[in-house]
Amino acid sequence: MTNLSMPKIDRKLIAKKSEIVKDLKKIIKSENILYHEDETRPFETDGLSAYKQKPLIVAFPENTQEVSKILAYCNKHRIKVVPRGSGTGLSGGALPMEDSLLLCLGKFNKIINVDYKNRCVIAQSGVTNLAITHAVQSMGFYYAPDPSSQIACSIGGNVAENSGGVHSLKYGTTTNNLLGAEVVFMDGTISKLGGKTFDSEGYDLLGLITGSEGLLCVITEVTVKILKKPQTIKAALVGFPKIEDGGNCVSDIIANGIIPSGMEMMDKALIHATDNFVKAGYPRDAEAMLIIELDGTNKEVEELIEKVNMIAKKNNSSSIKISKNEKQRLKFWAGRKAAFPACGDMAPDYYCMDGTIPRGKLVQVLKEINRLSKKYNLPVANAFHAGDGNLHPLIMYDANEKNSLEKTEKFGAEILKYCVKVGGVLTGEHGVGVEKRELMCEMFNNNDIQQQIKIKKSLDASSLLNPGKVYPILRKCAEEGRVHVHRGKTKFPDIPQF
């Protein structure tokens, strides 16, 4: 970790480590507490491995009561708590602090209830996203949100980040597929939000906690909607000689009243990288490629493919390939889902960005990314959830080169600022975390941020739950009101200060 500023470290608390461990052993089994340096090292980072910090203590509660007791204890003794699911997050949302307790939900790994009558599943928060689909697929059901990390990421983490995936265009993100949750607030209060009913009365607390990045509560159990698999699903691979043509095709499809279940775009760099990686049969001569997935009855899918084909041709498509069977369809997706690891072949390190823009601005933003790539002399490969305008530019760099991470971060920040400039947002599904914290002021003014901080404080008065995340701390409006700058350097020094 280079110059990342975090809230002030409580040295006195660190000195009391053994006392805290002793107290915790009264709450949970001693084998569920890790506190030696070697034991805590595996937890020093999450999916954003550029930042590392070992926590003071790692705790693995086994049930909601234990979570409640740990939080109440930490609240009383002013101990910071960082919740963690599977640690696959890409914005540093589960980055520990030196004086924090890392609360791991790894033991919350059971599916509690599969309820076909109410078309929902109740699962503990540490269950992986894919395990939910596995639990119901024998009856032809599935859980719709499918982030690329679905094999590993936890459903609780999905709620905390409001994860999307490649099918959110038609089926929505986590927030649209969540019926209920059991959560624990910082003071230890256990609360059931929602349930098996549609909506609930009063304030939409379920909506508020979804995407709150572990700042408001710890999620211990979720109730999610399951859907019946569509009768027919087909995917089309469409190649374009120019990136503009691909971008226009995306807008045209939507303008024609078609909502595909997924519509992904990749640029040439990524087409090659992923095709080398999984041999998906991508059009290697194309400058841009769309994966368009359509589902419904067989007649409907045929009809839609016909329409999409015509729209693609009108937009100068150079090739179109329709999946002939389920195996081939999954192969088409395998490349896209391996976009991140495939980049490992292109450079020692990569940095994944996550802005969302109005989809009509795709081409404009892509041109700007290419311009910036030249400016910073860092190659970039682009994967977009084109249907909903969510961009994942992958910046290639070599962390061993001096200052390369700083340069990469600056590049990334410029991309995100540009996203906001064209009417988009900083993050579509990875969360703000520590990564985009200081950029929040690009989108929000003091009033907006203060209102959010007030909500945070109304549920966590001493700001102990996941501090240093989401809200800028290098500013006067800061939550902690304290500026900690390492060696005179601030992250993103050019951000506007109000």
| Positions in 163-222 near other proteins (CB under 8 A) | 164, 168-169, 172-173, 175-176, 185, 189-191, 193, 195-208, 210-213, 216
Told to check if 356 binds other proteins by CB under 8 A, we report: yes
Q: CB of 263: closest distance to other proteins in angstroms? A: 13
- When the beta carbons of 58 and 290 are compared against other proteins, the nearer one is 290
Q: CB of 164: closest distance to other proteins in angstroms? A: 5
**What's the farthest any 2 CA atoms get from each other in the chain?**
70
Show the site string, 68-107: x = touches other proteins by CB under 8 A, - = not.
Answer: ----------------------------------------
DSSP string, 34-78: E-SHHHHGGGS--S-TT-----SEEE---SHHHHHHHHHHHHHTT
- When the beta carbons of 53 and 162 are compared against other proteins, the nearer one is 162
- When the beta carbons of 101 and 419 are compared against other proteins, the nearer one is 419
Q: CB of 277: closest distance to other proteins in angstroms? A: 25
Stretch that binds other proteins, among 24-32, 226-234, 261-269, 284-292 (CB under 8 A): 226-234
DSSP string, 273-333: HHHHHH-----TT-SEEEEEEEEESHHHHHHHHHHHHHHHHHTT-SEEEE--SHHHHHHHH
Q: CB of 160: closest distance to other proteins in angstroms? A: 10
- When the beta carbons of 13 and 443 are compared against other proteins, the nearer one is 443
How far is the CA of 71 from the CAs of 18, 218, 321, in angstroms?
A: 18, 9, 54
Q: Scan residues 4-23 and list those touching other proteins (CB under 8 A).
A: none
Assigned token pair, 137: 């697929």
- When the beta carbons of 31 and 201 are compared against other proteins, the nearer one is 201
| Residues in Cβ contact with 56 at an 8 Å cutoff, skipping those fewer than 6 apart | 13, 14, 17, 20, 35, 40, 98, 99, 100, 101
Q: CB of 212: closest distance to other proteins in angstroms? A: 6
Assigned token pair, 388: 């909903």
CB 274 within 8 Å of CB 394: no
Which one, of 144, 96, 102, 103, lies nearest residue 120 by Cα?
144
| Residues in Cβ contact with 345 at an 8 Å cutoff, skipping those fewer than 6 apart | 273, 276, 277
Q: CB of 226: closest distance to other proteins in angstroms? A: 10
Which one, of 293, 303, 315, lies nearest residue 239 by Cα?
315
How far, in Å, CA of 381 to CA of 265, rounded? 11
Q: Scan residues 283-312 and list those touching other proteins (CB under 8 A).
A: 296-300, 303
How far is the CA of 460 from the CAs of 94, 101, 188, 223, 273, in angstroms?
A: 18, 16, 10, 24, 45
Assigned token pair, 236: 């089309």
Which one, of 93, 190, 161, 174, lies nearest residue 132 by Cα?
174
Residue from 231, 326, 374, 375 touching other proteins (CB under 8 A): that is: 231
Q: Scan residues 374-413 and list those touching other proteins (CB under 8 A).
A: 385, 388-390
Told to check if 452 binds other proteins by CB under 8 A, we report: yes
Show the site string, 235-254: x = touches other proteins by CB under 8 A, - = not.
Answer: ----------------x--x
Q: Scan residues 113-132 and list those touching other proteins (CB under 8 A).
A: 115-119
Which one, of 45, 92, 43, lies nearest residue 352 by Cα?
92
Go through the chain and tell me how many residues it has. 498
CA 374 to centroid of chain Cα atoms:
28
Q: Scan residues 413-442 and list those touching other proteins (CB under 8 A).
A: 423-432, 436, 440
Which one, of 108, 233, 210, 133, lies nearest residue 164 by Cα?
210
Q: CB of 15: closest distance to other proteins in angstroms? A: 33
- When the beta carbons of 53 and 356 are compared against other proteins, the nearer one is 356
Q: CB of 331: closest distance to other proteins in angstroms? A: 23
Q: How many chain residues are in contact with other proteins, going by CB under 8 A?
A: 90
Residue from 269, 291, 365, 470 touching other proteins (CB under 8 A): that is: 470
How far, in Å, CA of 435 to CA of 50, rounded? 10
Stretch that binds other proteins, among 94-102, 257-265, 277-285, 340-348 (CB under 8 A): 257-265
Stretch that binds other proteins, among 13-21, 29-37, 156-164, 270-278 (CB under 8 A): 156-164
